Amino acid sequence: MKTIDWTNLKEELNCGDVIAQDDVITQFWKRNYVVTLGAIGSHDFLVNADNEQDALDAVADFCEDDGKGNVRYPGFIRTLAEYAAEEGEGWEKSLEDEVIAGNHGLVISNDYIMIMQVKIVNLPRTEE
């Protein structure tokens, strides 16, 4: 299992985002994961979750809206409507090769996903 130093987080994660930082710091859920989307020009997300599916769902939900009504990282994450428009006729069949994640079923290509459980050291102290 890879160890990530919280005090060196910017160097540890590639263009990284920490999703629900309070959960990571307090270790609310059982495990920590780095979810990587993309092979070239990838983006890492640090997530505290019970399992890999919950971690991927958290990333999809985070990417669903950038606060301006747009999907974050559109090359990696697509809405079902965007996917259908891009794939054209017969899109339902090609959907079998993709991953659906998040509360609203965003489409993520299998080619773009890597999930790795990590241990985090040097977390900030929290007040009990």
Mean pLDDT lowest for which of 35-39, 60-64, 68-72? Answer: 68-72
Give the separation between CA 3 and CA 33, rounded to whole angstroms.
11
Q: How far is CA 115 from CA 1, 36, 66, in A?
A: 12, 6, 22
pLDDT given at position 59? 92
Q: Are strands 77-78 and 106-109 parallel, antiparallel or unpaired?
A: antiparallel
pLDDT greater than 80 at residue 73: no
Structure tokens at 57: 């769902």
Q: Which pTM does this prediction carry?
A: 0.85
Q: In what order do the strands lie in the sheet with 106-109?
A: 77-78, 106-109, 98-101
Q: Where are the alpha helices (DSSP H) in the chain?
A: 9-12, 21-26, 52-64, 80-87, 91-94
Give the separation between CA 104 and CA 35, rounded to whole angstroms.
19
Query: pLDDT tens for residues 12-54?
Result: 888 788 999 999 999 999 899 999 988 766 789 999 999 999 9
